[in-house]
Structure 1
Amino acid sequence: MTQPPADGELRTESLSYEVDGRLLVDAVDLTAAPGETVGVVGPNGSGKTTLLRCVYGTLRPTGGRALLDGDDLHTMTPKARARRLATVPQDGQAAFELTVRQVVAMGRSPHKRFWEADTAADDELVTAALARVGVQELADRTFPSLSGGERQRALVARALVQEPTLVVLDEPTNHLDIRYQLEILSFVRDLGTTNLLALHDLNLAAYYCDRLYVLDGGRLVASGAPKEVLTAELLAAVYGVTAEVSTHPLTGAPTVVYLPPPAS
């Protein structure tokens, strides 16, 4: 079985993406050390998804570059990149009539020649991944028949069987109830891979991420440990909300409580 050759250090250098003269991502410098879980947060339209797409290859940066262990991700072939980087997109497409097991097994394709069949070891990886995300009972269902949350869990399982060193997840908790939000983020953090996540929920980001990068209007406005980044002042400036931020007595993570605007 092919194993990724490196440790999974991600670095972006002045990464930019411009469309029609508008910078959607503006010279962002970001690092994620091997085994680290790094969150990208910011309001809608801040550039989170565009940044992630520039990292995992759907978009080619118009400036700067993204490096995985010093190798430019955009000079790799898609197959070579997929051996080292797995992606969980924001919304899984359901336009193909494959079973859940077949969708998850697609994660093994970067490690195979075109004509190679799945092996017993591949089948074991798929079965284990299905069980880990809690969809083993859905293995023979067609992918389009699943709910949004079930599809999301299946796509996480597909990423697992790729055996990458870097996993990029765009809103991986979309459509999930709170139990599966916690379970998926917990085992993603415990995978041992480097993880780059875009998240809307700041409390989940504070608890599960080692470091956070805050985007606003495509620009990086803050970065650091969650307790350094998530302040009432930043939330007012970036999100335009009033909030109280305290340290949770059990987790030690910052906890954000949003306050309604004052009555007019």
Structure 2
Amino acid sequence: MNNKKTIALVTMLLLSGCASTNDANDSGLLGVKSPGSGVIKPTNATEASMLIAQSQASGNADSMIYAYRQALEFHQFNKADVYFNIARLEQQRDNNSQAEAAYRQAMASDLKRPELKEALALLLVDMKRHQEAETLLQEVVAADQSRLKASTGEAGACVTDNESPWRSYNGLGLLADIMEQGEQARQYYQCALNIQPGLAMLHTNLGFSYYLEGEYPQAERALTRAVNQDPQYRRAWSNLGLLYYRWGRKSEALAALRKNGSQAEALNDLAISP
């Protein structure tokens, strides 16, 4: 893959952490620091529920993970849900190994919930474990096609309804673009758009896929739909500006990039001295 595609694909990543915490700082499968000596270990499900509510009100990730771990001691809680919540918190903190472990525990607790497999797969995309991610995403999509009693013959072909896994289709599109399989990627994005036609992120990914293949008119149409769907979506404006610049439409490129900042910032994005 050439440098332009490698750099550009970074902007298409599906997942991003909300904080940076080194995995090495935590010990054990789901290790977290104690939330403090003032916290009483719950002795029943009611107290565990209160502890979860208090931790959520505090917004402290360590406290929330501690509370969820205590809830695992009581059969009244759905273990798959608890592990899922732990996994999402760990993922937000960029503790990917702990998040993966928790997602796998959630899946082991309930094998019939595709959203658990999908969440793990998207984490693996973020961890650049592409082959594992693709296998899981294909399984999610295949299960949905089976639910809808649809054929799964052609790659990228899909029958969908409003319950279909658009995130899985979008993830498969991203992976196909990484593998420079642009036509297949766009089929997957179209499947996702069948489910979520108003989502600017999906139009942006579709437009960027066209851009990578040098199909600028199609890219412009998709990216324009994205900014029309969500005028505040910065990545769509950035990609539209990049497209116009590569297309030789410099004034339109600057106009698009100015949606994200000043004239000087726009010029800097294009590596042009003001």
**What's the TM-score once normalised by structure 1's chain length?**
0.30
The answer to which structure, 1 or 2, has the higher relative contact order (CA under 8 A, 6+ apart) is 1
More strand by share: 1
Higher CA-based Rg: 2
- Return the structure number with greater helix share: 2
